[in-house]
Structure 1
Amino acid sequence: MDCERCREAISAGLDGEAGARESARAEEHRQGCAACRTWAELAAVVTRRVRTGPADPAPDLSTAILGPEAALSGAACGCAATCGCGCQQGRSCRCAPQVA
């Protein structure tokens, strides 16, 4: 197997598209080729970064899930409406740390 075919097989393997025979031949080539070993390591890093990049912003669904009362927090301490410590009913917040 030459370097070009090896790198195509490595790429296919990273995408879950390589067959067992193709992967075995690429691995055999890699064992004797420092350039393809380096290429495989860098390709794996790029693939990981692309797949684990930042998530796209998502809408706040708390009101849709928890009901309209979830949006009525208004607590000076910063607790969520579902916190349960009593601050939503005007009692002192028992959560730590409190937000000033």
Structure 2
Amino acid sequence: MKVDTRVLGDIVTVQLFLEHPMVPGTLCNRDAAQAHFIRQLEVRYDGERIFSADLSEAVSEDPFLRFRFQGRRGGRLDIRWRDNRGQAQRKGVDI
């Protein structure tokens, strides 16, 4: 997972690059159980949830997401995702 943050005034822009194969069930021929994709994504800023998403197999491989929120330099982001197979990743980033 790669994270880039930029602060302009009191607006923080976050760019996330989530490294994940995101294999949709439609590419698994007869066995959709082979699908492998990020199901849930959550971002917290100093403990408060500021962004969350329920994703599906319709999202491309290695998804890139960008969002903005009102914040300040010196805070901390906690980024977590979990996929449909129970694998998870977490990363903390100081702004």
- Shorter-chain TM range is under 0.3
Q: TM-score scaled to structure 1, two decimals?
A: 0.17
Larger % of helix: which? 1
Which has the larger Rg?
A: 1
- Normalised by the length of structure 2, the TM-score is 0.17
Higher relative contact order (CA closer than 8 Å, sequence separation 6+): 2
